[in-house]
């Protein structure tokens, strides 16, 4: 019986050691996650102050140099896009969303209708 007790104590000590290691690892991982979140938050605060340019693209058309040189005040350029089509919203030249034109107190605005999931 004494040998059984010592085996039980040995197993019990081994289990305690494993549990203690797991708890310590969890605490270390928890602290590491906390540290990473804090670092990420600081990075977000830093980059959130960087200015960007938002452009709303009504449409486009390819023309020749000859057609370009013939343009003057009052010239009309017809675009490929049709009335009612969604407009492209670009940030620093990268397409990030689609939207529609709205009027707010005699000023133009754009209502975002969809976000581009994988901007390139």
CB-CB contact of 84 with 119 (8 Å): no
Which residue from 61, 62, 59, 48 is spatially nearest to 98, judged by alpha carbons?
59
| pLDDT tens-digit readout, 61-106 | 899 999 999 999 999 998 887 777 899 999 999 999 999 988 889 8
Give yes or no for residue 55 having a pLDDT over 90: yes
Which residues are within 8 A (CB) of 116 and not within 5 positions of it... i.e. 6 or more apart?
Answer: 95, 96, 97, 98
- Mean pLDDT computed over 16-38: 70
Q: Is the pTM of this model over 0.75?
A: no
Q: Counting beta carbons within 10 angstroms of the beta carbon of residue 89, is it exposed (0 to 12), middle (13 to 18) or buried (19 or more)?
A: buried
């Amino acid at each position: 019986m004494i040998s059984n007790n010592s085996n039980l104590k040995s197993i019990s000590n081994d289990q305690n050691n494993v549990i203690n290691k797991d708890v310590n690892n969890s605490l270390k991982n928890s602290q590491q996650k906390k540290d990473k979140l804090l670092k990420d938050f600081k990075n977000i605060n830093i980059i959130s102050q960087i200015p960007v340019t938002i452009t709303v693209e009504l449409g486009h058309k390819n023309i020749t140099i000859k057609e370009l040189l013939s343009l003057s005040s009052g010239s009309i350029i017809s675009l490929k896009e049709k009335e009612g089509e969604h407009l492209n919203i670009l940030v620093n030249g990268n397409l990030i969303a689609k939207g529609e034109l709205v009027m707010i107190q005699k000023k133009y605005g754009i209502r975002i209708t969809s976000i581009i999931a994988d901007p390139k």
